[in-house]
Copies of this chain bind each other. A is one copy, B any other.
Amino acid sequence: MVESLLDPVVLFFLAGLVAGVAKSDLRLPESIYDILSIYLLLAIGMKGGIELHESPIAHVIAPALGTISLGVTIPFIAYAIVRRLGKFSRPDAAAIAAHYGSVSAVTFAVVLSFLTQLGVAYEQFVTVLLVLLEIPAIGIGMFIARWRAGTGTLRVRTMMHEVFLGKSMYLLVVGLVVGYVLGPHGAQPVKLVFVDVFRGALAFFLLEMGLVASNRLADLKRVGPFLVAFGVLMPILSAVFGCLIGIITGLSVGGTTVLATLAGSASYIAAPAAMRVAVPQANPTYYITVSLGITFPFNLIVGIPLYYRLALVLHGILG
Residues of A within 8 A of B (CB): 6, 8-9, 11-12, 15, 19, 22-23, 26, 28-29, 31-32, 34-35, 38-39, 42, 113, 116-117, 161, 165, 167, 170, 174, 177-178, 181-182, 186-187, 189-194, 196-197, 199-201, 203-204, 207
Contact = CB atoms under 8 A, between A and B. Distances in A.
Contacts of A170: 19, 26
A23 B158 CA distance: 11
8 nearest A-B residue pairs (beta carbon): A193-B200, A31-B31, A29-B34, A190-B200, A189-B199, A15-B174, A23-B165, A8-B190
Given A31-B31, A170-B19, A177-B15, A190 B165 contact: no
B29 A186 contact: no
A186 B187 CA distance: 27
A11 B182 contact: yes
14 contacts: A8-B190, A11-B178, A11-B181, A12-B174, A19-B170, A19-B174, A22-B165, A23-B165, A29-B35, A32-B35, A190-B199, A193-B201, A193-B204, A194-B203
A55 to B, nearest CB: 20
A214 to B, nearest CB: 13
A42 B192 CA distance: 19
Contact of A200 (B22, B117, B194): B194
Nearest to A175: B15
Contacts of A23: 161, 165
A29 B26 contact: no
Contacts of A204: 39, 42, 193
B178 A12 contact: yes
Contact of A182 (B6, B34, B116): B6
Given A8-B187, A192-B200, 10 more contacts: A6-B181, A8-B186, A19-B174, A26-B170, A29-B38, A32-B38, A190-B200, A193-B197, A193-B200, A194-B200
Contacts of A38: 28-29, 32
A31 B12 CA distance: 22
A189 B193 contact: no
A183 to B, nearest CB: 9
Contacts of A32: 34-35, 38
A121 to B, nearest CB: 17
A88 B89 CA distance: 63
